[in-house]
């Protein structure tokens, strides 16, 4: 159970000492584009790309500086300034884990920026779009680079804000506005968990920085408080990473422009939850603890749910969204398995970043050529007219289903094998999920690129311009070889070890393990089944009614219906009740009191008749009474 996590060293100077530039570049970009709005219309997108690339360059330089240090000194903290005096200072933590994320975010993020130049070319608000993209990158970098939970939380919410803005980018569509709000609110439910988790951490340990927590928490320590913190942080992670039960926002988030979907789903936002769990892993999710088990269970449940949803979607983006849920589920499953799983979870996160971005952007390219049609039943036989998009998408597809020797094969298989080893039941569920993945991803490819043309009459599909296809090619290269590079000879695991700990025994690459073979077999079965149903047979261009199960999947497993009947409707009633109570109850009492006083004084004023003689009588009576009283008292 002994995991060797390196001490955090204070660092100044050099590239790492100036790592804040990584965040500052895109932040300044966003600021300039928003403040000088119309004046930057002509070159705004270029500035956005330049800022993102600059950030990438800093990340690369920092990475090389970091590997220049010895293995035990690769956790460098950079103090920035005093944030809340006596509570928390703002600082950055550059270690193998955060730098991996930073590279992924800035690298894939920059490619998405470049792609967006082409994709958003005809949108009059392209400049605004780039400012949001920059904001997103900056917030995400703050999230992964911060050396404390408060900084992480600021980045965390910044990401939420940017995604709100991006999902609602076409806010004049009511559906987009609703989806954006929903994403934010559902995320806030997760934030509630993260917030309360932070309260407990602060109250128990008196600090919120990772370095000091590392000193105060013994590795492997568990008790009720730690379990509570773990579960609350998991709630936060569920919100950001769209895990059950907070998954419902992700499918609606497809209302945003397609590069947004790529940025949110592939490179950044949804991986934040995995980052949180892995970052806190040594503290609150030690191997074998209840909290870690909860993470793994949530992951396994979501990977199945996402896969099932993916099977029934005809909207290509929603299909991909389902698959994202599912793949993040794999990562969470890996993150719940302790140090052995972390490396694979992060590895899968990185390769998934590449192949999912590849496929999302590919889907965007298809939509770009098809007049923004998203219904796969209106596609078919596109491989001939969009060769580059087809090839890159196909590579991404092979990677995600775990075709041997491609990226996904190494990382996903790693998670499955580790899971079978540690939590057999969850592991075999993950194998089943892989089979379903084989089915729905094949279905997507066959419906889109193979079979008969089912295009709308006015569709003239064409290949996208180079500015869009070059990023696709680069991403597909990553989907091809990155997995092998990271996993073979445990390169990533050894690199991450100082930050997240090292498992007792290093996993060995075992291509012929029973779980691996079973996965391959199931994937093949799923793919063949999909071929028979959607490749060879004709796909109806109108959605068939489908069985009970299909409807179940189409309606997102009734997640929205559940939320609506459990939270939304009672909430509306409660609100109405409260407003009524406030107007009639609280205010009513006050107004009633006022009316009562007014009424009684209205009756009392009748005494003032205006007749002088009446007044005189009352004076005499008063005087008589007074005299009488004095006589009675006898003190006259």
Q: Between 540 and 598, name the residue whose CB sits nearer to other proteins.
A: 598
Cβ-based burial of 212 (10 A; exposed 0-12, middle 13-18, buried ≥19): middle
Cα–Cα distance between 145 and 16 in angstroms, integer?
11
- Select from 94-102, 183-191, 252-260, 381-389 the region that touches other proteins (CB under 8 A): 183-191
Distance of CA 16 to the CA centre of its chain: 27
Token pair of 351, please?
């390769």
Strands 88-94 and 76-84: antiparallel
Q: Of 182-190, 260-268, 379-387, 472-480, which part binds other proteins (CB under 8 A)?
A: 182-190
Q: Residue 187 or 515: which CB sits closer to other proteins? A: 187
When asked if residue 575 is in the footprint of other proteins (CB under 8 A), the reply is: yes
Report CA-CA distances (Å) from 184 to 48, 135, 249, 252, 628.
24, 16, 8, 12, 79
Query: How far is Cα 145 from Cα 242, in angstroms, rounded to an integer?
Result: 22
The alpha helices in 74-125, defined as continuous H runs, are: 96-119
| Shorter beta-carbon distance to other proteins: residue 255 or 373 | 255
d(CA 48, CA 117): 10
Q: How far apart are CA 625 and CA 619, in angstroms?
A: 10
> Which residue, 201 or 553, has its beta carbon nearer to other proteins?
201
| CB closer to other proteins, 216 vs 569 | 216
Q: Supply the DSSP symbol for 95.
A: S
Q: Which residues contact 93 (CB under 8 A, 6 or more apart)?
A: 8, 75, 76, 77, 78, 145, 146, 147, 210, 211
Say if residue 438 is exposed, middle or buried (CB neighbours under 10 Å; 0-12, 13-18, 19+): buried
How big is the chain by its Cα radius of gyration, in Å? 31
Q: Cα–Cα distance between 233 and 97 in angstroms, integer? A: 18
Closest CB 575 distance from other proteins, rounded Å: 4
Q: Do 261 and 254 touch, CB atoms closer than 8 A?
A: yes
φ, ψ at 328 (rounded to 5°): -65, -35
Q: Which segment (245-253, 282-290, 378-386, 584-592) binds other proteins by CB under 8 A?
A: 584-592
Q: Which is nearer to other proteins, 561 or 568 (CB)?
A: 568
Is 167 within 8 Å of 258 (Cβ atoms)? no
Smallest gap from Cβ 286 to other proteins, in A, equals: 14
Q: Where are the beta strands (DSSP E) in 161-228?
A: none
Task: Report how far residue 276's alpha carbon sits from residue 590's, in angstroms, rounded to the nearest whole number.
Answer: 50
| The one segment of 61-69, 251-259, 449-457, 613-621 that binds other proteins by CB under 8 A | 613-621
Closest approach, Cβ 324 to other proteins, in A, equals 23
Q: How far is the CB of 610 from other proteins (least distance, A)?
A: 3
Q: Which is nearer to other proteins, 453 or 576 (CB)?
A: 576
Residues within window 428-457 making contact with other proteins, judged by CB under 8 A: none
Is residue 362 involved in binding other proteins (CB under 8 A)? no
Contact set for other proteins, span 104-163 (CB under 8 A): 150, 153-154, 156-158, 161
* Separation CA 383–CA 390 (nearest Å): 5
For the segment 256-315, give every residue that binds other proteins (CB under 8 A). none
> Which among 61-69, 106-114, 174-182, 265-273 is the span making contact with other proteins, rule CB under 8 A?
174-182
Minimum distance, C-beta of residue 222 to other proteins, in the bound complex (Å):
10
Bridge partner residues of 194 (DSSP): none
Instruction: Using the minimum distance from each CB to other proteins, give the nearer residue, 232 or 370.
Output: 232
Site string for other proteins, 184-213 (x = CB under 8 A): xx--xx-xx--xx-xxx-xxxxxx------
- Considering only the stretches 48-56, 480-488, 546-554, 603-611, report the one whose residues sit in contact with other proteins under the rule CB under 8 A: 603-611
Residue number with CB closer to other proteins (70 or 598): 598
Instruction: Please pick, from the candidates 576, 592, 625, 628, the single residue that binds other proteins as defined by CB under 8 A.
Output: 576
Q: Report the residue from 12, 171, 371, 551 that binds other proteins according to the rule CB under 8 A.
A: 171
Report the distance separating Cα 361 and Cα 266, nearest Å: 10
Tell the smallest beta-carbon distance from residue 437 to other proteins (Å): 33
Q: Which stretch binds other proteins (CB under 8 A): 357-365, 441-449, 489-497, 572-580?
A: 572-580
Chosen residue from 506, 549, 586, 625 binding other proteins by CB under 8 A: 586
Binders of other proteins in range 63-92 (CB under 8 A): 81-87, 90
Rounded CA-CA distance 417/63 in Å is: 30
CB closer to other proteins, 122 vs 613: 613
Instruction: Out of 13, 70, 610, 634, point to the residue binding other proteins (CB under 8 A).
Output: 610
Q: What is the DSSP string of 453-497?
A: ----TT----PPPHHHHHHHHHHHHHHHHHHHHHHGGGHHHHHHH
Residue 189 Cβ vs other proteins, minimum distance, rounded to whole Å: 6
**Binding to other proteins, residues 28-57 (CB under 8 A):** 34, 37
Query: Least distance (Å) from other proteins to the CB of residue 409?
Result: 39
Taking the least distance from each CB to other proteins, the nearer of 87 and 506 is 87
The answer to the question of residue 545 lying near other proteins (CB under 8 A) is no
CA distance 571 to 578: 10
Structure tokens at 521: 């077999």
For residue 413, the minimal CB distance to other proteins (Å) is 38
Closer CB to other proteins, 561 or 621, in the complex: 621
Q: Identify any residues that bridge with 9 across adjacent strands, giving them in sequence order.
A: 76
From 267-275, 341-349, 395-403, 568-576, give the range in contact with other proteins by CB under 8 A. Answer: 568-576
Q: How far apart are CA 603 and CA 631, in angstroms?
A: 34
Binding pattern for the stretch 207-246 against other proteins, x by CB under 8 A and - elsewhere: x--------xx---x-x-x---------------------
Please state the closest distance from residue 571 (CB atom) to other proteins, in A: 8
Residue among 50 and 227 whose Cβ is closer to other proteins: 227
Query: What residues form DSSP beta bridges with 375?
Result: 315
Q: What HEC string does 486-502 produce?
A: HHHHHHHHHHHHHHHCC
For residues 61 and 185, which CB has a smaller minimum distance to other proteins in the complex?
Answer: 185
Count of chain residues binding other proteins (CB under 8 A):
72
Residue 582 C-beta: closest distance to other proteins, Å: 5
Rounded alpha-carbon distances, angstroms, from residue 611 to 243, 602, 603, 618: 83, 18, 17, 11
């Amino acid at each position: 159970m002994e995991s060797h996590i390196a001490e955090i060293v204070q660092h100044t100077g050099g590239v790492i000492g100036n790592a804040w530039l990584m965040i500052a570049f895109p932040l300044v970009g966003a600021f300039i584009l928003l403040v000088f709005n119309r004046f930057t219309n002509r070159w705004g997108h270029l500035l956005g790309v330049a800022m993102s690339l600059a950030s990438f360059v800093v990340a690369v330089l920092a990475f090389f500086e970091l590997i220049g240090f010895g293995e035990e000194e690769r956790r460098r903290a950079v103090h920035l300034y005093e944030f809340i005096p006596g509570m928390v200072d703002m600082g950055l933590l550059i270690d193998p884990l955060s730098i991996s994320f930073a590279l992924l975010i800035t690298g894939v993020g920059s490619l998405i920026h470049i792609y967006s130049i082409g994709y958003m070319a005809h949108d009059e608000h392209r400049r605004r779009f780039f400012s949001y993209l920059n904001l997103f990158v900056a917030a995400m970098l703050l999230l992964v680079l911060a050396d404390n939970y408060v900084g992480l939380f600021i980045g965390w919410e910044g990401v939420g804000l940017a995604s709100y803005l991006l999902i609602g980018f076409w806010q004049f569509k009511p559906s987009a506005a609703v989806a954006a709000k929903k994403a934010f609110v559902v995320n806030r439910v997760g934030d509630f968990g993260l917030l309360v988790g932070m309260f407990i951490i602060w109250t128990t340990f008196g600090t919120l920085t990772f370095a000091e927590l590392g000193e105060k928490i013994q590795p492997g320590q568990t008790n009720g408080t730690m379990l509570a913190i773990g579960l609350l942080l998991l709630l936060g992670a569920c919100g950001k990473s769209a895990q059950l039960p907070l998954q419902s926002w992700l499918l609606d988030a497809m209302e945003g422009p397609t590069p947004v979907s790529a940025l949110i789903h592939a490179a950044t936002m949804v991986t934040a939850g995995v980052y949180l769990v892995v970052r806190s892993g040594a503290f609150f999710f030690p191997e074998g603890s209840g909290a870690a088990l909860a993470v793994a269970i949530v992951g396994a449940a979501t990977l199945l749910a996402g896969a099932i949803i993916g099977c029934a979607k005809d909207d290509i983006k929603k299909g991909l969204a389902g698959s994202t849920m599912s793949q993040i589920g794999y990562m969470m499953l890996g993150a719940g398995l302790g140090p052995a799983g972390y490396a694979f979870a992060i590895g899968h996160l990185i390769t998934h970043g590449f192949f999912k971005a590849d496929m999302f952007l590919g889907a965007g390219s298809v939509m770009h050529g098809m007049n923004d049609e998203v219904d796969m039943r209106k596609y078919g036989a596109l491989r001939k007219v969009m060769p580059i998009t087809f090839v890159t998408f196909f590579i991404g597809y092979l990677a995600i289903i775990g075709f041997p020797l491609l990226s996904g094969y190494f990382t996903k298989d790693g998670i499955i094998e580790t899971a079978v080893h540690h939590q057999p039941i969850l592991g075999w569920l993950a194998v089943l999920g892989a089979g379903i993945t084989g089915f729905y991803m094949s279905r997507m490819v066959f419906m889109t690129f193979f079979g008969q043309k089912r295009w709308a009459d006015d569709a003239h599909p064409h290949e996208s311009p180079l500015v869009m296809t070059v990023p696709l090619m680069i991403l597909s290269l990553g989907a091809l070889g990155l997995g092998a590079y990271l996993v073979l000879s445990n390169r990533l695991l050894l690199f991450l070890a100082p930050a997240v700990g090292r498992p007792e025994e290093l996993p060995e690459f075992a291509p012929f393990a029973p779980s691996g073979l079973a996965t391959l077999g199931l994937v093949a079965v799923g793919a063949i089944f999909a071929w028979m149903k959607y490749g060879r047979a004709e796909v109806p261009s109108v959605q068939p009614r489908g069985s009970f199960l299909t409807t179940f999947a189409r309606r997102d497993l009734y997640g929205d219906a559940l939320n609506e009947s459990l939270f939304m409707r009672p909430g509306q009633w409660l609100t109405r009740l409260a407003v009524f109570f406030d107007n009639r109850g609280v205010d009513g009492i006050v107004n009633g009191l006022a009316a009562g006083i007014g009424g009684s004084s209205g009756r009392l004023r009748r005494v003032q008749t205006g007749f002088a003689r009446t007044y005189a009588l009352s004076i005499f009576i008063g005087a008589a009474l007074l005299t009488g009283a004095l006589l009675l008292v006898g003190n006259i």
